[in-house]
A and B are shown apart, each in its own frame.
Chain A
Amino acid sequence: MNASLAIFFVLAAVAVAAAVSLILQRHPIHSALSLIVVMVALAGLYLLMGAEFVAAVQIIVYGGAVMVLFVFVIMLLNAGEEEHTNFSKLAAYAGIPMAVAVAGLIAAAITRSTLPPAQDPTALTSTKSLSMLLFQDFVYPFELTSFLILVAILGAIVLAQREGN
């Protein structure tokens, strides 16, 4: 057990615990905060792997913009604790088994497949190489996503208008 493995297990445990907490909390704001913890833990894991740029983007965009948006919406709608309705018998009884089955299948497949080579935390990904990829090989998807963001902004504005405007 060396240091990186220990850090890995710690971060992994934090992430899983936060995810469980997301499920178990009753008030949506608590769930939101748990999700933030998951994202930070994942950023830590990215750093552990040597993907600095992705870790930074994760914190800034996900943690700093998306989750803030969630929190604002929860505040705006004055969401309270969850009602306890249970209309769907199927979801109640078959939900967990199915989810476990999917995850289990994936995990089983992973463990039985040929191992890809192990990580090398010292091999950092340079931002320069990322940007080379992004603006040369992936320029087309890049432009499309910028267009997508534009559409999303327009959509959000249209949706949020009051009637009669």
Chain B
Amino acid sequence: MHPILDYLWIIPLLPLVGSAINGILGWNWSKTSINAVALGSTGLSFLCAIEAVREFLDYFAQYHQPFTKHFVDWIVAYKDLTIGFDLHIDHLTVVMLLVVTGVGFLIHIYSTGYMAHEEGYFRFFAYMNLFMFFMLLLVLAANYVVLFVGWEGVGLCSYLLIGFYYLKHSAAQAGKKAFIVNRIGDFGFMLGMFLLFRTFHSLDFHTVFEAASQPNVAHEGLGQFGVLTAACLLLFMGATGKSAQIPLYVWLPDAMEGPTPVSALIHAATMVTAGVYVVARSHVLFLHSETAMYVVAIVGCATAFFAATIGLVQSDIKKVLAYSTVSQLGYMFLGCGVGAFSAGIFHLMTHAFFKALLFLSAGSVIHAMGGEQDMWQMGGLASKIKVTFWCMLFGTIAIAGFFPFAAFFSKDAILFAAFNSQHDGKALYGVGLFAAILTSFYMFRLVWLTFFGKNRYDEHHVHVHESPKNMTVPLMILAFLSLTGGWFAFPALFGGKDYFTDFLSPVFGSGEIAGGEALHSLELTLSGVAMVAATLGLVVAWRMYSKDVKRGPETGLHKLLYNKYYVDEIYQAAFVGPLVWISRNILWKAVDEGTIDGAVNGIGYGVREIGDGVRHAQSGNTRSYAVWVLVGAVVVFGIIFWPILHPALFGGVR
């Protein structure tokens, strides 16, 4: 009946097997074999995912509930701690599953072209497949613990892939930074899990959400700080680490040290969206805590704005895209924070399409430029690399939010929900809108600097050439998706159904935003305003960058933004520096060398000294040995005769 659903673990397992084969055996295989294993496993996983989706829809039509399957008892401990290796599918999982496997597969194909001349080709694909395994585990998990396994695993793969060029110092540092900052978030996540377990005595999604929906669970208003608020805020702390929000976003720009396909897959389309997924999955808990929702919305909105400002002045093409990712993730959290969870997930999906497209196109540009990433060294490429140019343009139009491209619908849904939100909705909307203007501006700036104007590079050294088919075909597929990906919500413009929200309604409840004519026209108005904002950004960028433009000196505000508000330096001075000092001077020198080594060495020293003192008894002199015998005899006689002797000593009566 449900062959795939009963063996749901096959979907994560296939990439794991591919990773193992490539990692262990692939070190001297030909590229064709490595490709076959890597693409084969990911592609098969994608096909299985599609089949699983089809079966699930059948199942749901019959039983009207999500599909959960318990495979193996993993942890059985103490009183009520039973964690099983459970996987489940519901509509939210369907979206995530298709995005992860589909976009992942396309990026794998692209990588065969991009990484063709790299050392460690097999290692790259081994790590990528491993990442797919963990991400799929995360998405399919039916309880927080299996999700956390996937969560940690993608963090590990992120570290491995960022530091792929491990001989480069900056890459190794960036990998470390990513992993460590992620761990800080994970600390919060774990505390959140513990708190949830303590409250609900289970970490199963089904059980926890069921228990949280009971009438006796308090709804905590704004400013009230109860157990659910604490748990949600802690889970969100983990999400800020994984999804690069304030204050733990600092690893994402550094993560651009990794190869571009890595940036596309992990730091745009899939891993960084894990945080959003967790918040959306736990929406039952979040809806009970207005404080947590408010915090999520504020942080998301602030990050969207903050990152957009930094992206305005960056000169590295990948850094612009990195800050853009941080900013767009902020939008997703803003959506979740105001209660529009399906809008947040919608934006997650469209963002996966156009951000992957943008990163891969940027990779194509870098490939064409022979490795150059500084936009100020590019220019006038439009005529030379036509396919890449058009794909990049599609992506830029999409991210700016122009109709009818994908992000128009998703961003619009978020801003509309923000506008209607009870707590400071108008302010959130205003900041979000301004960030949209900035987004449009810096993306078109990127396009103009890279593709138009005079060549700022030396034609003799750089031979600009178009990328091979295995790179351009995925680009075109993604471009198509960037255009059409939002069309699920198309009919809603004309008063019809929003298919996407409809699809997710079994998970999130039907329409978080109540319908009605008045609200519908408001939505149309706001859409129009958004279009105007996008056009405004486009025009300003055109005025500033389309002509021949020279790079100005960095002064004042420009300098502040270029140096990312000196946040990295502040963190270094406030946290990293003191911690390293403590580790070096106190924990290393005083505790480890002094106390622990000192105690162990001291024991050795003490034993030696005692031995040195006692050895004088072994003098070889018979007479002294005889005296020792006498000493022993005195002791023995004393002990034996003590009952007889001691009354006499103390003058007692015999």
Contact = CB atoms under 8 A, between A and B. Distances in A.
Given a CB threshold of 8 Å, the question of whether A touches B is answered with yes
B641 interface: yes
A109 B644 CA distance: 6
A133 B624 CA distance: 42
Given A87-B621, A88-B624, A90-B624, A99 B630 contact: yes
B630 A88 contact: no
B1 interface: no
B524 interface: no
A94 B621 contact: no
B648 interface: yes
B637 A102 contact: yes
B120 interface: no
A5 B627 CA distance: 36
Contacts of B654: 112
Nearest to B647: A112
B630 A102 contact: yes
A98 B648 contact: no
Nearest to B630: A98
B623 A102 contact: no
B619 interface: yes
Nearest to A95: B627
Interface string B625-651: 011101101100110010011001000
A120 to B, nearest CB: 27
Contact of A105 (B621, B631, B637): B637
A31 to B, nearest CB: 16
A147 B368 CA distance: 107
Interface string A91-117: 100110011011001101100110000
A87 to B, nearest CB: 5
Contacts of A106: 637
A94 B625 CA distance: 12
A93 to B, nearest CB: 9
Contacts of B648: 108, 112
A98 B644 contact: no
A87 B630 CA distance: 18
Contacts of B637: 102, 105-106, 109
Contacts of B619: 87-88
Interface residues of B, number: 18
A104 to B, nearest CB: 9
Nearest to A94: B627
Nearest to A91: B623
Interface string A115-143: 00000000000000000000000000000
Contacts of B627: 88, 90-91, 94-95, 98
Interface string B313-344: 00000000000000000000000000000000
Contact of B634 (A87, A88, A101, A109): A101
A109 B645 CA distance: 7
Q: Is the interface of A mostly helix, strand, loop or mixed?
A: helix
Contacts of A95: 623, 626-627, 630
B627 to A, nearest CB: 5
A105 B630 CA distance: 12
Contacts of B624: 88, 90-91
A113 B654 CA distance: 10
Given A105-B641, A109-B644, A112-B645, A88 B623 contact: yes
A99 B631 CA distance: 9
Interface in B592-628: 619, 621, 623-624, 626-628
A94 B641 CA distance: 22
Nearest to A113: B644
Nearest to B640: A109
B366 to A, nearest CB: 88
> Which of B623, B626, B627, B628 is most buried by chain A, counting CB atoms within 10 A of its CB?
B627
A90 B621 CA distance: 10
B626 A105 contact: no
A98 B634 contact: yes
Contact of B621 (A88, A102, A112, A113): A88
B620 to A, nearest CB: 9
Given A88-B624, A95-B623, A102 B644 contact: no
Interface string B155-185: 0000000000000000000000000000000
Contact of A91 (B626, B633, B634): B626
Contacts of A88: 619, 621, 623-624, 627
Contacts of A101: 630, 634
Interface in A48-87: 87
Contacts of A90: 623-624, 627-628
Contacts of A112: 644-645, 648, 654
Contacts of A94: 627, 631
B59 to A, nearest CB: 94
> Which of B619, B628, B634 is most buried by chain A, counting CB atoms within 10 A of its CB?
B634
A109 B631 contact: no
Contacts of B623: 87-88, 90-91, 95
Given A98-B631, A99-B630, A102-B630, A108 B645 contact: yes
B626 A102 contact: no
Nearest to B620: A87
A91 B624 CA distance: 5
Contacts of B630: 95, 98-99, 101-102
B645 A102 contact: no
Contacts of B628: 90
B641 A102 contact: no
A109 B621 contact: no
Nearest to B645: A108
Contacts of B641: 105, 108-109
Interface in B5-47: none
A105 B635 CA distance: 10
Nearest to B623: A91
B644 A91 contact: no
Contacts of B633: 98, 102
Contacts of A105: 634, 637-638, 641, 645
Q: Which 5 A-B pairs have the closest CB atoms?
A: A91-B623, A98-B630, A88-B624, A109-B641, A88-B621
24 contacts: A87-B619, A87-B623, A88-B619, A88-B621, A90-B624, A90-B627, A91-B621, A91-B623, A91-B626, A91-B627, A94-B627, A95-B626, A95-B627, A98-B627, A99-B630, A102-B634, A102-B637, A105-B637, A105-B638, A108-B641, A109-B641, A112-B645, A112-B654, A113-B644
Given A88-B623, A91-B626, A91-B627, 18 more contacts: A87-B621, A88-B624, A91-B624, A94-B627, A94-B631, A95-B627, A98-B627, A101-B634, A102-B634, A102-B637, A105-B637, A105-B641, A108-B641, A109-B645, A112-B644, A112-B645, A112-B648, A113-B644
